[in-house]
Amino acid sequence: MSSTIIDSIIFGDIFSDEAMRNVWSDENRTQKYLDIEAALARVQGRLGIIPKEAADEIVKHCTIDQIDMAKLKQQTERIGYPILGIVSQLNALCRDKLGEYCHWGATTQDITDTATVLQIREALELIDDDLRAISGALADLAKRHRDTPMVARSNLQQAVPITFGFKMAELLSAIERHRERLAQMRPRVLMGEFGGAAGTLASIEKGAMEAQQGLMEELGLAQPLIAWHTIRDTIAEVGCFLGLVGGTLGKLAMDVKLMMQTEVGEVYEPFAPGRGSSSTMPQKRNPISSCYIHATISVVRQHAAALLDAMVADHERSTGPWEIEWIVLPEAFCLLSGALKQSRFVLSGLEVDAERMREVLDMTNGLVVSEAVMMGLGPYLGREYAHDLVYDICREAIRKKRPLLDLLAENKEITKHLNRAELAKLCDPSNYLGQSGVMVDRVLASVRKH
């Protein structure tokens, strides 16, 4: 019976993703332990650290179908860690006591940490795929709506005109930075561990460093310069990366939620019959995916903080901080996978109402372009005086509920310099988009092609 949102039969594929759950499953983790033990045996057999016959025998049994998972559960509960249970079962499976050479010179944390890194490598591949897809969807929206005017908002108030393409390109630029971070992070993070009891490999008299190098080459991981049993910056970096990605997805979700408000109605999540409906209010269309994104990434951020806390480890082998990672790292990845999946869904079918965006721009009777008017009058009246004059006229427009253009055209100080046609041009939001299009193009040109 499942009891967490990630493993829930009902909610699991809403707040998480099956492929990511598989990466962090007991079965995959246990197979990673076996993969490492097999690789270690092969390398040590090749180097003559253990008998070649023993290495072949150990490798032959390093498949999960030969492991008694119920027994492993019991062993782990008794011992406190699963690795000794794995080694014990492998030893029993091997003939002629050749299994005694299994795990030669290694310690529990070597195998556990290296398995975690292998899982991280698989998980980052999934995230990379999602980020690539999200980047493509954002790029498409930015390109299609490069010149679609809408209002920018500051403190939830209408500010100045921008384009919807500009809004999407801003998010796209962040996603592209996350893709860059991921590429830069891999060489640091994808580093295995093989140091023995306190990290010095003292238990292997000859060929210790060669065995470490060979093991990492077998696994396709970087060789550490020194043991990192209680130096956990790379794991914390992964957590911070997940938190950063989640923050950007949360920003997307926040804006979609706000733009879906009845009073705004500028965009909508993709439609499906019944999706987002209320049990009592038939007219409602709730921002379901955005709500899920908000919830999941909020927890991911807390997990990132926990991974930073896990860095504060005691001496050469810690008493508790290490186990924090066991709890939160799989959850962080799984929850982020859910946010990524929901984001892909939102962006792949986002409904954009350009007409409504224009209506919202016009709803203040021209006040949204007050900055444009102020800047247009600045060369004639001085910027500060123009600001104060336009400010007073805006207050009057609000009080009398009249178009800003009409009041501007009635002001003799202003009409000495600009006629109504010229003022109308200043009051057209589509004429005050600044360098939006140029910036959109710059972001689109920077998108990674792979």
The answer to whether the CB of 110 falls within 8 A of the CB of 143 is no
Alpha carbon distance, N-terminus to C-terminus of the chain: 41
Active site residue 278: yes
| Top CATH class, 15-106+203-222 | mainly alpha
SS3 390: helix
CATH architecture type of domain 359-446: Orthogonal Bundle (1.10)
3-state helix, strand, coil in the chain (%, to 5): 65, 5, 30
Start-end of H helices in 310-403: 321-348, 354-362, 370-381, 383-400
The answer to whether the CB of 190 falls within 8 A of the CB of 120 is yes
The per-residue pLDDT string of the chain (450 residues; one tens digit each, 9 = 90 and over) reads 788 999 999 999 999 999 999 999 999 999 999 999 999 999 999 999 999 999 999 999 999 999 999 999 999 999 999 999 999 999 999 999 999 999 999 999 999 999 999 999 999 999 999 999 999 999 999 999 999 999 999 999 999 999 999 999 999 999 999 999 999 999 999 999 999 999 999 999 999 999 999 999 999 999 999 999 999 999 999 999 999 999 999 999 999 999 999 999 999 999 877 666 566 666 668 899 999 999 999 999 999 999 999 999 999 999 999 999 999 999 999 999 999 999 999 999 999 999 999 999 999 998 999 999 999 999 999 999 999 999 999 999 999 999 999 999 999 999 999 999 999 999 999 999 999 999 999 999 999 887
**pLDDT reported for residue 272:** 79
Selected catalytic residue, list 278, 348, 430, 446: 278
**pLDDT reported for residue 347:** 97
**pLDDT reported for residue 448:** 86
**pLDDT reported for residue 142:** 98
Domains in the chain: boundaries: 15-106+203-222, 113-154+162-193+228-352, 359-446
What predicted TM-score, i.e. pTM, was given to this entire model?
0.94
In terms of Cβ atoms closer than 10 Å to its own Cβ (0-12, 13-18, 19+), residue 28 is middle
Token pair listed for 163:
């384009």
| Top CATH class, 113-154+162-193+228-352 | mainly alpha
For residue 244, give the nearest of 320, 339, 153 by alpha carbon: 339
Hey, CA dihedral for 342, 348, 353, 357, is it positive or negative? Answer: positive
Selected catalytic residue, list 317, 356, 402, 420: 317
DSSP state of 232: -
**pLDDT reported for residue 220:** 98
Q: Helix 52-60 vs helix 26-47: angle between axes, to the nearest 10 degrees?
A: 160
The answer to whether the CB of 376 falls within 8 A of the CB of 403 is no
